[in-house]
A and B are shown apart, each in its own frame.
Chain A
Amino acid sequence: MLDNILGGFASIFAVGPILGIIAGVMIGIIFGAIPGISAIMAIAIILPLTFYVDPIIGITMLLAVYKAGIYGGSISAILINTPGAAASFLTAVDGHALTKAGKAGKALDISLYSSISGEMLATLVLIFVAAPISAISLQAGPVEKVFLLLFAFTVIGSLAGESIPRGLLSCCLGMLFAMVGMSTITGASRFTFGYTELMAGFTFTPMLIGILVMPEVINTIRRRKVPHHEMAITRSPNPADNRISWKEFRSVFGTVLKSSGIGTFIGALPGLGSSTAAFIAYGEAKRTTKKPEEYGKGSVEGIAAAESANNAVCGSSLIPMLTLSIPGDDVAALLMGAFLIHGLTPGPMIFFEHPDTIYAIFAGFLITDLFLLGIAKAGFKSFVKIASLRRYYIFPCVTVFAFAGAFTAGQNMDDILVLIVFTVLGYSMRLVGLNPAVFIIGFILTPFLEQNLDQAISIVGTDYHLFFASPFSWVFIALSIFFVYSSIRMRKKAANNAADGITKNPSATTSGEAVQIPK
C-alpha cells in the first residue's frame, strides 16, 4: 500500500493536477465565502468544467473546491455573522463576537489553522483506512449489498432537516425520477411516455444544477430588496488582536486534536454530517475547558473546536463513499456522481481497478491542505473583496455557468430543458419544504439498490432465508437500526445545543441548505 501512496504523490506533482488544486482552492474559498452559495453549489457549478480533463485533475480539483468551500463558509460566518452552512453556525457565534471586539484577524487565523488541522488528520485516516475496509467489503455479494444499501438510505435521517416525513417524501421523489428510462435489467421503458429522448433517463449534471443551484438564484431575485452587506476585515491597533500567536495555538491544540478526532469519527459514519460533528465537538470542548464562560462570547477555543470538527468531516465522509459506495452526506453524494461521470465507480473495486488514480487523488487531497493554508493566508483580503461583490454581479454569472455547464455535459440541447424543468421542480420543492439534498441521494442510490435487489432475488430464488444467511446481512441490519435510533437521538441533542446558541446569538441566521442573506 505504501508504494501505492508514494506512486500517488508522484503522479500528483505535475503541472495539471497542481494547477487544478490551486484553481479549486481559490474557487472554493471565494464561492464558500459568498453568502448564498454553499460548497455543494460550488461543486455543482464546477463539475462540468472537469469533464475534459483527466480524472486525477478533475476529481482533485472538485475535492479542493469542497475543502476550500467548507473553509470559506467560516469567513462570512466570522465577518458578517452569516454561516455558509449549518456547520459554521457555531463559528459565527464565537467568531462574530471576536469581530465585534475588533479581533477579526485573530478569529480568521484560528479558523484557518484549526480547519486545516482537522482536514489533514481526517485525510490521513482516509488514506490508511479506506483500502483495508474495502478489502473486507469485497466479500459482500448482491444479497449483502441490498442490506448495505438499505443502511445507506438511513443517511436521510440526518439530512432530512426538521421533518422526517418530508425527507422520506423527497427521497421517494428522487427514486421515482431515477427510474425514468430504459431499465437495464428488463429492457422495459419506464415513464418515458413514448419519448425516445427519455429512454436514457435524466442526465445527472443538468438535473443536479437545476435542483441545487438555480433555486438559490431565484431565491436571490426574490430577496433583491434585502440590503447588501459588505465584508471587511476590521483591523485593531493592537497587532496581537490581528493574528493568532504560536502560544495561543498551542494552548488550544489539544482541543483541535480532540475535535478533529470527533469530526473524523462522525464523518466516517454515514449520515451524521458536519453540523452534528461541530455541535458535538463544541459541546465536548465546552464541557472540558477551564474557561466555559468565554464560549459564545468570542472564544478562540470554541472556534477551534467547531472548525476542526466540521472540516474533519470532509476527509472522512469519503471513507464510506469510496469503500461501500454509501455517500455520507449531500456533498459526498454529489462527489459520488462526479466519480461515476469520470468512469470511476465508488466501491471496494475501485482500489483494484484504478489504484493509481485513487491514490493520486488521495495524495492530491492531502496536499490541498497545504495549498489552502498558503493561498488563504496570502489572499485573505482579496478573497473577502471578491466575495462581497454585489449580488447582481455574482448571480448572473452563476446562471450563465449553470446553463453552460448543463450543456457541456452532453452537448445536447435537451439537457437545457432538463435543467429548466428541474429548476422549477427544485424551487417548488423548497417552497413546500421538501429537501433537495435527500432527493439527490435517492436519485443516486436507487439504480444500485434496484440492480442488487434483482440480482439477490435471482440468486436466492425461492429460498428467502438465504437473504439472512450471511453475517454481513445481520451486521448491516443492526447498523441500520442503530443509525435510525441514534440519528433521532442526535437530532434532539443538536436541537438542544442549537437552542442554546440561538439564545446567545439571536441575530445569526442559518438554514440547513444554504445560507440566507441576513434580514
Chain B
Amino acid sequence: MNKPTKSLLTFIGALAVSFSAGSALAAYPEKPINVIVPYGAGGDSDLTTRIWADAVEEELGVPVVVINKAGGGGVVGTSFVANSKKDGYTLINAGLGNMLVTPNFSKTPYDFDSFEPVVKMTAVPLAVVVSKDSPYKNFDQFVLAAKEKRITQGSWGASSSGTILANIIADQMGYQPKYVHSNTTAASMVSVVGGHIDSAVSFPPAFGPHVKSGRAVALVMNQKMDQFPGVPTFESYGIKGSFEGWSGIFAPKGVPQEVVEKLTAATIKIMKKQQVLKAYENIGAVVDFRHGSDWVADMKVTYEVMKDAAGKIKK
C-alpha cells in the first residue's frame, strides 16, 4: 500500500471513530433503525415485526425499517445481525427457530448468547392435527396407534422447531413418528387434508382455516384458545414443556443498555394501544408481551432443553 492511500485510510478511520463516538454520546435513537426479518415478506414473522415497527416508529420518532433477508432457514439474516454494529440501529426479528432451535441443531456462526433479548410480542401454540377422516378421534387413540405402528407426521425440516418440539412430545408419550417434511406448515396441512400423511404438527395460522371448516381436527395443543374450543392441552396429558412458536425483537450482544430500555419502554406503550392488539388479532397471532430477566431466564431453560435434545440426536 502506498503512502497517500495509507494516510487517507487513517483519516477515514479516524473520522469513523469520531462519528461513532459522537453517536454513542447522542440520545438514542437519532437515525432510522433497521429491523432484519430473516424470512420472506408476508409470513407470520414478517407481519408480526411490521406491526411492531409501524407502532414503535411513532414512539421513537425515527423511521423503523423492516428489511427481509431470507434464506438458510433464517440463518443468513440472523448471522448478519449478530455481526453488525452494536449500536442499536440493527435489530433482529427473533423466534423459536432462529434463536433456540437452529443454533443447536445446525452449524451456525452465532448462538443464543450472541444476542441481547429486548421484547417478545406474540406466541402461537403448537398443535397435533389429523384429518377429519382419521381413525384417531382423540390424542389417546393416536398415541396408542403410534406405539403399535408407524405413523407419519408432517413437519418442516429435520432440524426445524416443529420436529424438535414434536420429538419432545413423542419422547414423553413413548412413540416415535415418521416425519414427512414440507417447506411450510401450510404445505403439510395440505398433505394431512389430502390424506397423504396421518398427522402433522402445526400452528393456528396454518391449521386454523382447515379446522374451522371441518376438514381437519386438532387433537391436542399447547394452550386453550377461544377459537378452538374443546381441544385438550399437552399439560392435561402430563406432557412437560413449552410448545409454542413466538416472535420477538433482539439486538446484537453488547448494545448500550439505553437501547434495550428505550425499545422496551416504547413497546410497553404500544402494547396498550387497541389498534396494535387488533392488528395482531387480525393476523391470527396471540399477544404474549414479555420483557426483562424472568423472560430471558425462561428462554435459557428452553434453550438448554433444546441443547439436550440435540445432544440425544447426535449420539
Please state if B182 and A451 are interface contacts (CB–CB under 8 Å).
yes
Please state if A459 and B180 are interface contacts (CB–CB under 8 Å).
yes
Q: Is the C-beta of A16 less than 8 angstroms from some C-beta in chain B? A: no
Please state if A184 and B194 are interface contacts (CB–CB under 8 Å).
no
Within 8 A of B (CB), among A431-460: 451, 454-455, 458-459
Q: Is the C-beta of B70 less than 8 angstroms from some C-beta in chain A? A: yes
| CB nearest neighbor in A for B159 | A187
* CB neighbours of B150 from chain A (8 A): 461
Task: Kindly identify which residue among A200, A459, A461 contacts B197, using a CB–CB cutoff of 8 Å.
Answer: A459
Q: Is the C-beta of B102 less than 8 angstroms from some C-beta in chain A? A: yes
Please state if B107 and A186 are interface contacts (CB–CB under 8 Å).
no
Binary A-proximity of B151-163 (CB < 8 A = 1, otherwise 0): 0100011111000
Question: If A138-B194, A181-B72, A461-B150 touch, does A186 touch B178 (CB 8 Å cutoff)?
Answer: no
Most A CB within 10 A of own CB, among B76, B109, B150, B191: B76
Q: How far is the CB of B69 from chain A (nearest CB, A)?
A: 8
Please state if A187 and B182 are interface contacts (CB–CB under 8 Å).
no
Please state if B157 and A349 are interface contacts (CB–CB under 8 Å).
no
User: Whole-angstrom distance between the alpha carbons of A331 and B69 in the complex?
Assistant: 28
Most B CB within 10 A of own CB, among A143, A182, A343, A454: A182
Within 8 A of A (CB), among B43-64: none
Question: If A199-B75, A199-B76 touch, does A184 touch B70 (CB 8 Å cutoff)?
Answer: no
User: Whole-angstrom distance between the alpha carbons of A196 and B75 in the complex?
Assistant: 8
| CB nearest neighbor in B for A139 | B194
User: Whole-angstrom distance between the alpha carbons of A188 and B73 in the complex?
Assistant: 10
Of the four ranges (under 10, 10 to 19, 20 to 34, 35 or more), the interface on chain A belongs to: 20 to 34
Binary B-proximity of A104-140 (CB < 8 A = 1, otherwise 0): 0000000000000000000000000000000000110
Task: Kindly identify which residue among B79, B152, B182 contacts A459, using a CB–CB cutoff of 8 Å.
Answer: B152
Please state if B152 and A451 are interface contacts (CB–CB under 8 Å).
no
Please state if B196 and A187 are interface contacts (CB–CB under 8 Å).
no
Q: Mind listing 25 A-B residue pairs with CB under 8 Å?
A: A141-B196, A142-B180, A142-B196, A181-B71, A184-B73, A184-B157, A185-B158, A186-B157, A187-B102, A189-B106, A189-B107, A196-B75, A196-B76, A196-B109, A197-B76, A199-B73, A200-B71, A200-B72, A349-B190, A451-B181, A454-B180, A455-B197, A458-B152, A459-B152, A459-B178
B interface residues, Cβ below 8 angstroms from A: 42, 67, 69-73, 75-76, 79-80, 102, 105-107, 109, 150, 152, 156-160, 178-183, 190-191, 194-197
A interface residues, Cβ below 8 angstroms from B: 138-139, 141-143, 181-189, 196-197, 199-201, 343, 349, 411-412, 451, 454-455, 458-459, 461
Given contacts A183-B157, A199-B71, 9 further A-B contacts (CB under 8 A): A138-B194, A143-B196, A181-B71, A189-B107, A200-B70, A451-B181, A458-B181, A459-B196, A461-B178
